[in-house]
Amino acid sequence: MTLPEPTPTSNSGAARQWTAGEKHLITGAAALAPSVHNTQPWVLEFHDEHISLYERLDRALPHHDPVGRDRLISCGAAVENAVSAMRILGWLPAVRLRHDPAHPDEVARITVTGRAEPSDVERHRHRAISARHSHRGPFAGRAMENDLRRELLGAHTVDGVGLRALADPEEVAALARLVSHSALVLRADHAYQRELTAWTAPVREPMPGAGVSSATRRVSTLPWAGLVRRTTAIPDIGFLADRLSREFLVLVETPDDGRHDHVRAGMAAEQVWLAAVDAGLAGSLLTQPFQLPEVRAGLVEKLALSGFPQLLLRFGYL
């Protein structure tokens, strides 16, 4: 899916009526956000001066995502893309995360606060939305420049989210052990495998919301790539650690582990991923291992984290 070119609008006034073109651009950007098993577990509602994003509980994955953490991370990425589209349209959006018992499925409310021309960075990030995709294989051997690594670590603007690059050999080895453990557990989990099969589309490039591609069945996907099937080959830990050491790995953590923390983690991850795409990198987002309590506890212990690990981003060149 390619985003349409935005229609120029004036720089004054407040939004009262969303045009069909504005709605199309914003919903199209949200639809291109990464989501767990490509379930697209959200829906947008347009109001006079704000947009509400609701999580879709009918897209729940009880075996992969029993507490809905991945669903909220996905919603956070969709919020970020919607905000990006609003900025391209010349609106100044303000995001307020919601947890109203009267509307428990409302995740975020994006309010229009004024008008302003988008910056060059915002234009670049918006163009990257259409180019972003999940690369589940290994990367090329080209090393990433330190300046680019630092740039990506500073690419997000979401309060309450921390980014940590994993480069120390002991940290990478610990991650390899935990990823390998989670892969073994998930490969043997029949309920999880049935759920993954149910969300596997019989096409190479599924539409947004239609599940993951059946092409992954025929690819020998190693367990860091985000999909573990019954046929996934799980290498020895030394081999896995060696492969991980060649990638730029970014751990996303939050000080707490509530709904808002999960949404913020998704927003920050999407900002960093779009910055990486704009810099010519490929990447993917890994949450599967974080569903196992022992993996999250192991990361906290081995990496001496002060917060809660939510997801892992991996980047490299093709």
pLDDT at 9: 46
Q: Does a structural domain hold residue 251?
A: yes
Are both 266 and 217 inside the same structural domain? yes
The H-assigned helical ranges of the chain are 20-31, 69-88, 120-131, 146-153, 169-187, 190-198, 237-245, 259-278, 293-302
Measured distance CA(50)–CA(30) in Å, rounded: 15
Residue that is written with structure tokens 């599924």 in the block: 206
Average pLDDT over residues 259-287: 97
CATH code (residue 33): 3.40.109.10
Measured distance CA(91)–CA(116) in Å, rounded: 6
Beta partners for 55? 42
pLDDT, tens digit (0-9, with 9 covering 90-100), for 91-150 = 999 999 998 888 899 999 999 999 999 999 999 999 999 999 998 888 998 999 999 999
Domain of residue 185 covers 146-316
Mean pLDDT of the chain: 89
Are both 83 and 36 inside the same structural domain? yes
Q: Does a structural domain hold residue 3?
A: no
Residue 4 CB coordination number (10 Å) = 9
pLDDT, tens digit (0-9, with 9 covering 90-100), for 100-116 = 888 899 999 999 999 99
Are both 205 and 292 inside the same structural domain? yes
What is the number of domains present in the chain?
A: 2
